[in-house]
Amino acid sequence: MTEMGSDHRHLAGVALVTGSTVFFALAGVFTKSTTAGPWTIAGWRGLTGAALIAAYVLWRRRQGAGETTLRLGWRGWLLTVVGAVSSILFIASFKYTYVANVAVIYATVPFIAAAIEWALFRQRPRSRTMATAAISFAGVAIIVSGGLGAVNLFGDLLALAMTAGCALYLVMIRAFRDTPAVWAAAVSALILFAASWFVVDPLAVSANDVVVMCAFGVSFAVAVILWTEGAKLLPAAEAGLLGTAEIPLAALFAWLLLAELPPATSVVGGAIILAAVLVHAGRDIATVRKDATAVG
């Protein structure tokens, strides 16, 4: 591939991943813009999101560029279950705490994933990752401490549980490389739609809420597709760094669209986590570029 072609692929990757963060960052706004409960939101988002992601996967297969198989197997079904549980926790956490809290707690996913990989596969994380994880969890502790005795403590704990589930999901994707991950995401969303009928009545909502929840599903599908395509064109470290843009964007959207201002403990803890993640990702990128230069 020519240098110009490589540059175009890189720019396309940056644009796609950055665009995905905008849609991911809107999750809190969509959740809090409807009076519906978490299960109802998960159901409608799941229906719309699953339909769009499935259509995308099938279209890519017809183009000969999609996942080679749609067979899930036990690994794929395990992915869908973990993804579904993480999704309902994700949506519920927004209902009980600040959008900014959920966003910054979620930023610790890579470090929890590293701990899970060490526990399951004895893959010892780098000392830099361990140090960054310790700093990040200190930030999480500060955020959670701000909720002690307040109504948002439950939401913060839900966000922690969701983050652990997403970290496990990430580890499973790495371990199950032959499993169609995007297709599993579509099936996971559809599972939530089906499950919601056993918990609530998804039709017992206003027309306005249906519009908001369906828009949430569209946003979710677009985010997944943009991230999937963009991450293929970038080194993992750079994609991860660009993904951190979701954190300040989520807080900004919550402030502009919901007039939601988190307490000082959330701001301090969030700043600590964001700084730790940015420094860690930045050093990873520097290492990758140094290695590439040495090879070149």
Confidence of residue 209 (pLDDT cuts 50, 70, 90): very high
What is the Cα–Cα distance from 196 to 137, expressed in whole angstroms? 33
Contacts 24+ apart (CB under 8 A), 196-203: 196/39, 196/40, 196/42, 196/43, 196/46, 197/43, 199/39, 200/37, 200/39, 200/40, 200/43, 202/40, 202/43, 202/44
Confidence of residue 275 (pLDDT cuts 50, 70, 90): confident
Residue 4 belongs to some domain of the structure = no
- How many domains does the chain divide into? 1
Residue 162 belongs to some domain of the structure = yes
Q: What pLDDT is stored for residue 148 in this prediction?
A: 54
- Range with lowest mean pLDDT among 83-92, 220-229, 250-259, 267-276: 267-276
Residue 269 belongs to some domain of the structure = yes
Residue 203 belongs to some domain of the structure = yes
Q: What pLDDT is stored for residue 293 in this prediction?
A: 64
Residue 224 belongs to some domain of the structure = yes
What is the Cα–Cα distance from 179 to 176, expressed in whole angstroms? 6
**Domain hosting residue 98, numbered range:** 11-295
Residue 155 belongs to some domain of the structure = yes
Residues 29/253, Cβ–Cβ less than 8 Å: yes
Residue 3 belongs to some domain of the structure = no
Residue 236 belongs to some domain of the structure = yes
Residues 31/155, Cβ–Cβ less than 8 Å: no
The tens digit of pLDDT for each residue in 111-141 reads 788 888 888 877 776 677 677 777 777 877 7
The tens digit of pLDDT for each residue in 144-179 reads 776 555 667 888 899 999 989 988 888 888 787 788
Q: Whole-number mean pLDDT of the chain?
A: 82
Mean pLDDT of 263-269: 79
**Chain center to CA of 83:** 10
Mean pLDDT of 66-92: 86
